[in-house]
Amino acid sequence: MAALRVFVLGATGYIGSTFLDLLLKKESTARQYTFRALVRSQEKADKDIRPQGIEPVLGSLNDVALIEEEAANADIVLNFADADHLTSVQAILRGLSRRPRWEEGRRRPILIHTSGTGVLLDGADGQFASNTVYYDNDVAQLNTLEISQPHRVVDIEIINPALVGVVDTYIVAPPTIWGFGTGRGNTNSIQIPLQIATSLKYGQAMQIGKGRNLWSKVHVIDLAHFYISLLERATQEPQDPDEVYPLGYPLPKNEDAYYFVQEGDDFAYGDVAKEIAKVFQRIGINDSGEVNGTEPEEESAYWPEASNVLLGGNSRSRAVKAKEILGWEPKYTDFVGYINEEIHRQKDLLDGKNSQ
């Protein structure tokens, strides 16, 4: 069978670069896939993409004609880029839908899109913990999500019933991602580093409101391994209804596209602030051990835009399908250790700048 043609968006991002690093280390990958990746600059193409044996495609998410054409020539599109960039996702779907369904020797095309459990957020602003937990195998519950939720307008394009039998679509919705990535590109997350950076700026552990809101979490390497498992299993899906399914039943997709990827217990961002306060006390940044919680009216004075969304809402998810269907087992659990390491990393960077 010919190698599957893969087009990647977000190849130098935190998730995408870690996924590619791990996938390309597998001996079977070179036989199974060929890769092309969208990249914004020649410098990144030469530095981060070509050395991995990936063919760079120069462009941005706004180059929708280019993206549509690349998708039309691909068997698989892996989208690790902006979860809210609607026109690029529409271009991907147009391109994948253009390809003749039974092109000789080729399977039905696949889209694995990265969303996020921001789609589950409420407006807690750090004031309360929610008892609402979303399960990725509960389609009826997920269908109650309003189109006004973050990422939802894009996700709805991907779960469109008209794509059934035309494109196999999957949505991976990670929660708070922690840990350091291994790929060529961005190697760190957004949420925890943002809370730490703001705390270092003011020399005081900071949180949104009372810090009571809860999020689920996953380590970036565990997340990357999940993507690999999903990709490998998705490529085994039968192309004909009469074929035997590897698991005895279809892999959930299309209208049942959501896959959550969560490990361990949920955490409160207030507990992250308390850990920051402990470390600050230990290393002499602030001896008080106290946390400063900002109220809604003062958030703009302390925090970058949208921090109340990233750090203040409740977003609780359970990875039922990942664990029960794909057998995904997360291995990384030292969340507190990561917080400590990230504080020291950022402090060392600041100390280096201040000494220049």
In angstroms, the CA 21 to CA 226 distance is 14
Q: How far is CA 110 from the centre of its chain?
A: 18
Q: Is the dihedral of CA 322, 324, 327, 333 positive or negative?
A: positive
In angstroms, the CA 38 to CA 320 distance is 32
pLDDT tens readout for residues 253-270:
999 999 999 999 999 999
Residue 253, C-beta contacts closer than 8 angstroms, at least 6 positions apart: 168, 169, 170, 234, 237
pLDDT tens readout for residues 190-235:
999 999 999 999 999 999 999 999 999 999 999 999 999 999 999 9
What value does the mean pLDDT of the chain take?
A: 95
In angstroms, the CA 323 to CA 327 distance is 5
Range 235-244 average pLDDT: 80
Q: Report pLDDT for 248.
A: 74
Q: Report pLDDT for 101.
A: 54
328: left (phi over 0), alpha (psi -120 to 50) or beta: beta
pLDDT tens readout for residues 8-54:
999 999 999 999 999 999 999 999 999 999 999 999 999 999 999 99
pLDDT tens readout for residues 129-177:
999 999 999 999 999 999 999 999 999 999 999 999 999 999 999 999 9
Q: Report pLDDT for 312.
A: 98
Q: Report pLDDT for 30.
A: 92
Q: Report pLDDT for 51.
A: 97
